[in-house]
Amino acid sequence: MGLSIGLVGLPNVGKSTTFNALTKAQNAEAANYPFCTIEPNKATVPVPDIRLNELAKIVNPERIQYSTLDFVDIAGLVKGASKGEGLGNKFLSNIRETEVILQIVRCFDDENIIHTEGRIDPISDVEIIENELIFADIEVLTNRIERLKKQAKNDKEAAAMVTFAEELAEFLAEGNLARNFPKADSEIFEKLNAEVRLLSAKEIMYGANVDEEGLTEDNDYVIRLREHAAKNGCEVIKLCAKIEEELVGMEDNERDEFLRDMGVEESGLEQIIRKGFDKLGLMSYFTAGIKEVRAWTIRKNTTAPKAAAVIHNDFEKGFIRAEVISYNDYITCGGENKSKEAGKMRLEGKEYIVQDGDIMHFRFNV
């Protein structure tokens, strides 16, 4: 669907290690020095969804096809990135092309792994990154204001946009993220953001990279990061990048047992993928047949014909109706036929808003 999550962070915080584990491929070079990653690495990863496994137990298909999510590993930012330090302008432009930011934050001590700032301070690390996003936004906004002022002489709409943009620029100059602007949910903000693609307006998740001991109980670094995140309405997901890499290649049962032994219910990376999918405003509906049980990715609040188009454009063009069974009904009844017998299959028309987990079959005629 062209939507992606960008992994950002200072050098040597575990970002590329996280990306390696996330993609189950060692294609993002992790090294103990800054700027080892110059070009952004991209990968598409499956979205873990236990519901597909439950459907497969009933249908016994030849294969299972999960929804997928695109991740981009963006080279480490440093202070002054918005002014070009450390190839910063290139890195910032890569962030601009993503929809959600996952900031990996170092929350562990290890004297063998250098820190570019010479100390471990997650809040300072976060502020360095976010200040660079804000500085970049101020620059692009200032340029936009200058162009708008020229239009404003004969255009009332442009004049109103100038006033709004100047108010936003002042808000940013005070060190605030654009996503926290009091008028961020307004139509004029959406229009302006569509034009300039503000970095600090994006959804942000924090990946707190901890050591093994930090997985079961929050250390002081994580506690402080959670407090900061709460102020900005952001989520913190705790992970140990080193352990996540060890989990790569393990069989599901072996991995689950490994996590249980550590007192962890779900790996940090699975949480990142699942919550990132949600942050992008995405959800899945399912088709279930003997050839495959499959998740189809759509935006939330999508109508049935638009959902059908994800399978094939002809499905939307010739849409007649959708046969729908809710996931819970499908599982409770034990499959499609028994769901029909129990009266749990519904016929829905063009106005139906697809619900997360719907099992669907489309009738069409082209």
pLDDT digits (tens, 9 = 90+) for 194-229: 999 999 999 999 999 999 888 989 999 999 999 999
Question: What is the predicted pLDDT for the residue at 28?
Answer: 36
Q: What is the CATH number of the domain that holds 92?
A: 3.40.50.300
Instruction: Please check whether residue 172 lies inside any domain of the structure.
Output: yes
Question: What is the predicted pLDDT for the residue at 89?
Answer: 60
Question: What is the predicted pLDDT for the residue at 316?
Answer: 94
**In the predicted model, what is the mean pLDDT of residues 267-286?**
93
Residues 262 and 307 in one domain: no
Instruction: Please check whether residue 290 lies inside any domain of the structure.
Output: no
Does the structure show a pLDDT above 70 at 254? yes
Residues 64 and 190 in one domain: yes
Question: What is the predicted pLDDT for the residue at 346?
Answer: 97
Residues 246 and 327 in one domain: no
Q: What is the CATH number of the domain that holds 325?
A: 3.10.20.30
Residues 214 and 311 in one domain: no
Residues 305 and 183 in one domain: no
Residues 151 and 251 in one domain: yes
* pLDDT tens, residue by residue, 164-187: 999 999 999 999 999 999 999 999
| Beta strands at 292-299 and 282-288: parallel, antiparallel or unpaired | antiparallel
**In the predicted model, what is the mean pLDDT of residues 36-55?**
79
Which structural domain, as residue segments, surrounds residue 325? 301-364
Domain finish residue from 245, 279, 313: 279
Instruction: Please check whether residue 219 lies inside any domain of the structure.
Output: yes
Question: What is the predicted pLDDT for the residue at 94?
Answer: 83
DSSP H helices, the chain, are: 15-23, 50-59, 88-96, 122-152, 156-173, 187-196, 220-231, 241-247, 252-261, 268-279, 304-309, 313-317, 327-333, 336-341
Instruction: Please check whether residue 119 lies inside any domain of the structure.
Output: yes
Instruction: Please check whether residue 162 lies inside any domain of the structure.
Output: yes
**In the predicted model, what is the mean pLDDT of residues 301-323?**
96
Lowest mean pLDDT among 175-189, 211-225, 240-254, 314-328: 240-254
pLDDT band (50, 70, 90) for residue 38: very low
Question: Which letter does DSSP use for residue 201 in this model?
Answer: G
* pLDDT tens, residue by residue, 153-166: 888 888 999 999 99
Instruction: Please check whether residue 289 lies inside any domain of the structure.
Output: no
In the chain, the percentage of residues whose pLDDT exceeds 90 is 61
pLDDT band (50, 70, 90) for residue 245: confident
Q: How many CB atoms lie within 10 A of CB 138?
A: 19
Residues 137 and 170 in one domain: yes
Residues 320 and 229 in one domain: no
Instruction: Please check whether residue 208 lies inside any domain of the structure.
Output: yes
pTM of the model: 0.84
pLDDT band (50, 70, 90) for residue 24: low
Domain finish residue from 224, 245, 279: 279
Residues 266 and 311 in one domain: no
The count of domains in the chain is: 2
Residues 182 and 326 in one domain: no
